[in-house]
Amino acid sequence: MTDTDIEALLARVAALEKRVQAAEDIEAINRLTRIYGYYLDKALWAELLPLFTDDCEIEISALGVYVGRKQAAVLFRDLLGKGPAMSDDDGLAWGRLYNHLILQGVVHLDDDGRQASGRWRCFMQIAEFGKKAVWGEGPYEIRYRKGDDGKWRMSRLHFYRTYHTPFDEGWAKAKSPAGEMRTHLPPDRPPSVRYEPYPGNFVPPFHYANPVSGSRRYTRRDPEAV
């Protein structure tokens, strides 16, 4: 075997190692995001919050942008946890349902292999036993970062509300509210985009181009924005 053959073989091995690492990273991101959904289901805030970076940015519907792990705790534990989830600090209260099904994941690694983007669909069932039940649905656009410890975390998360309607009326009859910021637990920034939920048909920007045509008609302009 010549030196050229050896160099070619080493190059193939390096390329295969890179592909294996990318596959493992994408699977780790998929697992991270699904686990987030299960913790959110049961208002397990102490388990959910470590899934985010210290400098995370989180935007849910029209609540505004909450920056940093401390503000993430305010958003999840104090706002959602004392609102629709009605948790007893950590865990759902009796008679509450807060299911979040995380589906349709599409994940792409950045060229550096240290950051990534993902798009997911969330289907929600929210209820208070004997009083009310709500359907909800919408896509997530999420940015991920790999830490020095080799673990992936979410650095930016944006959930776009498609609809949020009473169970007995559903999306066939009820118009989805746009939502609003909470003045008693204010965000660090206002909502990054204004849009009308269903029956409006806003298309949240995709982080990726069309894989066949290459079209970027619906992709965001800022690669770091979600």
Look over the chain and give the mean of its residue pLDDT values, rounded to a whole number: 92
Q: 70 lies in a domain?
A: yes
pLDDT of res. 223: 42
Q: Which of 151, 171, 165, 125 is nearest to 35 (CA)?
A: 151
Q: 202 lies in a domain?
A: no
What's the CA gap between 212 and 143, in Å, rounded? 23
Whichever domain contains 132, its CATH number is 3.10.450.50
How far is CA 69 from its chain centroid? 15
Q: 63 lies in a domain?
A: yes
What's the CA gap between 54 and 41, in Å, rounded? 22
Beta-carbon contacts of residue 1 (< 8 Å; ≥ 6 apart): 9
Tell the residue number behind the tokens 């899934």, with chain if given. Answer: 51
Q: 217 lies in a domain?
A: no
Element holding 147 (H helix, E strand): none
Q: 140 lies in a domain?
A: yes
pLDDT of res. 89: 77
Q: 169 lies in a domain?
A: yes
| Total tally of structural domains belonging to the chain | 1
Q: 151 lies in a domain?
A: yes
pTM for the model: 0.91
Provide mean pLDDT across the span 205-210: 94
Backbone angles phi, psi at 24, to 5 degrees: -65, -40
Higher model confidence: residue 154 or residue 8?
154
Range of the domain at 119: 3-173
pLDDT tier, 88 (very low <50, low <70, confident <90, very high otherwise): confident
pLDDT tier, 221 (very low <50, low <70, confident <90, very high otherwise): low
pLDDT in tens, 14-36: 788 888 899 999 999 999 999 99
Q: 161 lies in a domain?
A: yes
